[in-house]
Amino acid sequence: MLQRTAFLFLLAFLACVACDKKKAAPVDSNPDISRQLVKQQAQPIPVLDKTFDLKVSATFPFEIPPNSTHPHLHGVFQSFLGKSHDSGEVSNIDFVVMNQEQEENFANSRPSESLFSAEASHSQAVNFDLPPSYGQPVKYYLVFENAQNNKTTKAVQANFRVEF
């Protein structure tokens, strides 16, 4: 008899729990926090996916959206001598990632540092954490430069994206 009562009590308890309606999730009253959470879960942003000729230098700007707390640059590049796809030391190039101030100095031939660099390379994988952007978008630049500073045109195949 005690087992039957316990069984009926358990059955009634489970029925009540199953029929209980779930409360709706509270609506966020702070839209800034909502935007931050959306940005953190954003899809990767393609930055550069192309093959181009490099005679002296080539610069490719990209922007990190506001409130990006953990932007991470992923990419690879390969350089070849002309269109022959011969690689090696003769096809080496320099690659740097710069912020806006650094790129302005570089463009105006003033001494400049960079956030990331790979010098004299014909094949490189890049994995680099960019600084957070907080409340404003931040502009960065991928810069490819002919390492030999000669007149030999090199072909560069590059694929870069930013993940959050």
- The side-by-side arrangement of strands in the sheet containing 154-163 is 45-54, 154-163, 72-81, 123-129
More confident residue, 15 or 161: 161
The amino acid sitting at 13 is F
Q: What is the mean pLDDT of residues 101-126?
A: 94
Q: What is the mean pLDDT of residues 64-75?
A: 95
Cα–Cα–Cα angle for 99, 107, 49, rounded to 5 degrees? 60
Are 57 and 125 a contacting pair, CB within 8 Å?
A: no
Which two three-digit tokens encode residue 135? 């409340």
Question: How would residue 127 be classed by pLDDT, with cut points 50, 70 and 90?
Answer: very high
pLDDT above 60: residue 98? yes
Q: What is the mean pLDDT of residues 106-128?
A: 94
pLDDT above 90: residue 15? no
- Which of 64, 49, 74 lies closest to 128, judged by CA? 74
So what's the architecture of 45-163 in CATH? Sandwich (2.60)
Cα–Cα–Cα angle for 95, 100, 106, rounded to 5 degrees? 55
Beta strands of 13-163 (E only): which ranges?
Answer: 45-54, 57-64, 72-81, 93-99, 116-121, 123-129, 138-146, 154-163
Helix (H) or strand (E) holding 12, with range, is helix 2-19
Domain limits of the chain?
45-163
Is the pTM higher than 0.85? The answer reads no
- pLDDT for the residue numbered 39: 45
Which two three-digit tokens encode residue 7? 């069984």
